[in-house]
Amino acid sequence: MKINRLLIVLSVIVVTLISGCDVKNGITSTTLELPTGSTLDLYSVNEGVHPNTDILDNPDNPFAGASLNMENVWDFNDESPSAISRFYLWGTMLAKIPTGEYQYLIAKSLHEIYTESGSVNAKEQAKKAYRAVLDHFYDSVTWWNAPWIVEDTYYAVILRDLVGEAMYNPSEMNLMPLYSDPVLALADLSEWGYVYDFEAKKITKWQ
């Protein structure tokens, strides 16, 4: 019976998102519209970059008052119609529950926005978000699924190395370069106190 109730609750969450409903401060709203464009107007210079939490005050953020948690957020992610929608989603989660995975997903969303539109705001904010992964969540990991195995099997991937690849060789991730030359990415990483071994695809600290 408890399992059935849990399934019902999760179904309601997904239906709520799809139908454009949201719960803010205990009030149900049917006016929620998830952004589908790729124009990023930042609420503050460090929005989406830990430890800043201004994204919760951004009136353009449709998730600011939503009832998100570490489980249902993946349903919201799967239903989000755009990279900018995912930026607000993961930015809201990071502001409430700071983790390296959420900071990385923000950086990736910003990088995707830049790839789609060439937004200078998104490009520069992506660099800040990538740096925040290194500065605040250096040893954090994300979990990748092994879909070729019948049972759900996940394995850990070190986020800092994903950051290095995204900055130095983003074409491997189907993303546009953040720099006119990959050496400039290495230069920024050096200034921040990190070294990216592009052959081994590993980041280490040098300071």
**For position 134, what pLDDT does the model report?**
98
Q: Mean pLDDT, to the nearest integer, of 119-128?
A: 97
Cα(88)–Cα(116) distance, integer angstroms: 17
**For position 32, what pLDDT does the model report?**
60
Residue in 106, 89, 74, 75 with CA at minimum distance from that of residue 35: 89
Q: What does pLDDT average to over the chain? A: 87
Q: Mean pLDDT, to the nearest integer, of 26-54?
A: 81
**For position 16, what pLDDT does the model report?**
43
Q: Is it the case that residue 138 has pLDDT exceeding 60? A: yes
9: CB partners within 8 A, 6+ apart: none
**For position 2, what pLDDT does the model report?**
32
pTM: 0.84
Q: Is it the case that residue 27 has pLDDT exceeding 90? A: no
Q: Is it the case that residue 139 has pLDDT exceeding 60? A: yes
Q: Tens of pLDDT along 55-113? A: 999 999 999 989 999 999 999 999 999 999 999 999 999 999 999 999 999 999 999 99
DSSP class per residue in 131-186: HHHHHH-TT-EEEEE-TTSSS--EEEEEHHHHHHHHHH-GGGGT---SSSSHHHHH
Q: Mean pLDDT, to the nearest integer, of 15-29?
A: 39
Q: Are 80 and 14 in contact (CB under 8 A)?
A: no
Handedness of CA 161, 133, 103, 137 (dihedral sign): positive
**For position 8, what pLDDT does the model report?**
32
Query: pLDDT class for 21, splitting at 50, 70, 90?
Result: very low
**For position 181, what pLDDT does the model report?**
98
DSSP class per residue in 83-117: HHHHHHHHHHHHHHS--HHHHHHHHHHHHHHHHHH
**For position 5, what pLDDT does the model report?**
37
Cα(60)–Cα(63) distance, integer angstroms: 9
Proportion of the chain above pLDDT 90, given as a percent: 74
**For position 151, what pLDDT does the model report?**
78
**For position 17, what pLDDT does the model report?**
41
Handedness of CA 145, 146, 148, 150 (dihedral sign): negative
Where are the domains positioned within the chain?
2-205
**For position 13, what pLDDT does the model report?**
40
